[in-house]
Every structure is written in structure tokens, then in C-alpha cells.
Structure 1
């Protein structure tokens, strides 16, 4: 299989530690419901931290390694994964800190009125008056609901934090990368 572009992969977790003596890894998922991590048959691992200063994209691309998943299960808030070719604790510990990435096509289809946060990033946000609020540069969870982070995608400067709740979110048009919000530009 050819290596996909980094732009075609989505980071869904990071290797936290080794688990046991058989080469399993303990993964800290980036989602409270790690369905893509649990259902993936293959994972790409990168030992280079995301957007490291001074690391060329070509080096990061070259660092990608594909692993077949033999088993994945939830365990105490983490996901324990057995990878083909990783047979002992030392091999698993060598992967500590690795980023875990998958292709977007691995994600199950989202239900109606549900969205994967990664799909919201880079959407333009406008209010009901048609005023531009900015672009979604990140999505977070405050425990009660999602928060979309509106700002400048180049500088990552945050302009507004807006609750992603049905009272505020009027429409999400993913094909056109547009979110309409009941929100004022000066709030």
C-alpha cells in the first residue's frame, strides 16, 4: 500500500505507554467515543510530533509506518491495541509518544445532525445576519457540550469560542464548509 499524504490522515490518538508483556500499546484517544480507533483494521503511526519546529513535511511523511491491528479494546479510559509485528514490551515502549492516524474513510458514517469534529475544522462561520464570524480552527469539549473555536487559520489566533449546541447552531453545510450560527460578531 502506498503511503497516504499527511493531509489525507486524521490523528485520532497517541501511544501513552506499553501495556503488559506481549507488546500491546496503551493509546490515549483524542475522542470520548473512539469508534474509529476501535474499528480500524490498520493504523499509521508517526514518531514525529505534529508540526514540529524545523521538521520538514517530507521527513514527517517518511516517518509514517503502517501497522495491522490484531486487537483493540477499551480499558480504563484508554484503548489497548495489539499490533502485528509488535511482540514484546520493549517494542511497544519504543512507540511511546507516537501519533496514531487513520484515513477519513475509516470513520463510520455520522448520524443525521451529528458531525465529526474534524469535519467542522476549516468551515466558515456566519451569523443569521450574514456577517462572517471567521473560520473554525479547532473544536473542544467543555464537558457539557462542544465548543467551536473561531479564529485565524494562519496564525491560530482565537477570536471567539462558541457553544456547539442546537440553540446556537442553525445549519451545518459540510459540502460548502459553512456553519450558520445564531451569534453576534461582537459577542
Structure 2
């Protein structure tokens, strides 16, 4: 998932192709519940130029199948392949606890060592199936990947705009923190 500098919007998924001949699309969801990709109202494309109204129809091979208002055939659906789908951050519900975060809330946070020394900034958050990973853009321009576990990231302070990264701890089976893909 490509990080977005504008944290007022959250990427809910990406259109990965057409489904059938009547204009339905397959969407790879980035939401905790796949069907929620269409639950928060109309979505926009990455530049914010197109507004799309989704109607989720079901699932197919790891994707969500949806209809989009105004898309009536396979060619029109295929033309949308690769479109990232965004919703305004304020359309999403609060996470409900202090240990669960939206990926979009983590991107841009300053990463610090346990003693407070700056390491860089969170550039992106990924979940490749084994838990959330933070990509930290270091001050020297390098990139470091850190598992988003309590051991590796013991403290997150959204209000202060920072999180602590403990390089001495590794992913030793520690329970993952509650990141949400939305």
C-alpha cells in the first residue's frame, strides 16, 4: 500500500480487476473486515478527482466483489484496475481502545529510541500476512522495517506524534499490537 501524505484520508483498498461481464470489480481490501471497504460511504480515487459509490456483493479468491454506480460492463470495470480507494478519516469509527491504531494514524509519526533519540519517521505500514510491519525512513535516508509488536514498539503516543522503537527486542513470538488496515 502506498502511503498517503494527506492523513485526512485513509486507503480502504485497491481495485484489482473486473469480475464477470456486468461491470463488477474485484477489490483487495485493506480493512480489518473485508466487506467494510464499502461501509463508510462513497470513496474517492487517490487524487480525489473521482467519487465512486460501492455496493459490496460478496467475496471471490481473497477479494471483495462490488458494483460501482455507473459502471455497467467489463471494459469500464477493467479501466478502473489499480485505482486506490480512499475515504475521509473522519468517516471511520474510533478504534475503541488505546492499543489499536489505524495504519494511517501511524504514518508520519517520529520514531525514537527508548532514551528519546530520534531514529526517523514511519513511512508506511504493511501487513504481508504475518503481522503489521512499520517501515521507518531513517534520518540518513535509509529504510528499516520493524515488526509492530509490543516488544519492538513498546510505546505509541499519537497525540505527541511519536513512537518508541526498541531495536534490542526482536519478533520473538510476541503478540502483535492492534493495527487496523483501515
Common fold: TM-score over 0.5: yes
1:122: Cα distance to partner?
0.6
1:69 corresponds to which of 35, 54, 57: 54
- Work out the CA distance in 2 between the residues paired with 1:122 and 1:78: 28
In the alignment, structure 1 segments of 5+ residues that lack a partner are: 1-5, 47-59
- Structure 2 stretches of 5 or more lacking a match? 169-182
Alignment TM-score, normalising by the size of structure 1: 0.73
Once residues 32 and 76 of structure 1 are traced to their aligned partners in structure 2, the CA distance between those partners, rounded to angstroms, is: 17
Q: Which protein is richer in helix relative to its size?
A: 1
The 5 A counterparts of 1:117-132 are 117-132=103-118
Between the aligned partners of 2:110 and 2:35, the Cα distance in structure 1 is 27
Q: Find the partner of 2:151 among 156, 164, 167.
A: 167
Deviation at 1:136, TM superposition (A): 0.8
1:97 pairs with 73, 82, 87, which one?
82
Partners of 1:36 and 1:127 lie apart in 2 by 35
How much does 1:15 deviate?
A: 1.6
C-alpha displacement of 1:123: 0.3
* Alpha-carbon distance in structure 1 between the residues aligned to 2:102 and 2:144: 20
Residue 136 (1) aligns with residue 111 (2)? no
Offset, 1:152: 4.5
* Equivalent position of 1:15 in the other structure: 15
> 2 CA distance for matches of 1:175 and 1:163?
22
How many residue pairs get matched? 162
Are residues 1:149 and 2:102 paired? no
1:180 equivalent to 2:147? Answer no
The alpha-carbon distance between structure 1 residues 140 and 71, as it changes in their structure 2 partners (threshold 3 A), is: closer
- Report the 3-state secondary structure (helix = DSSP H, G, I; strand = E; otherwise coil) of the residue aligned with 2:58: strand
Distance (Å, rounded) in 2 between the aligned partners of 1:70 and 1:34: 13
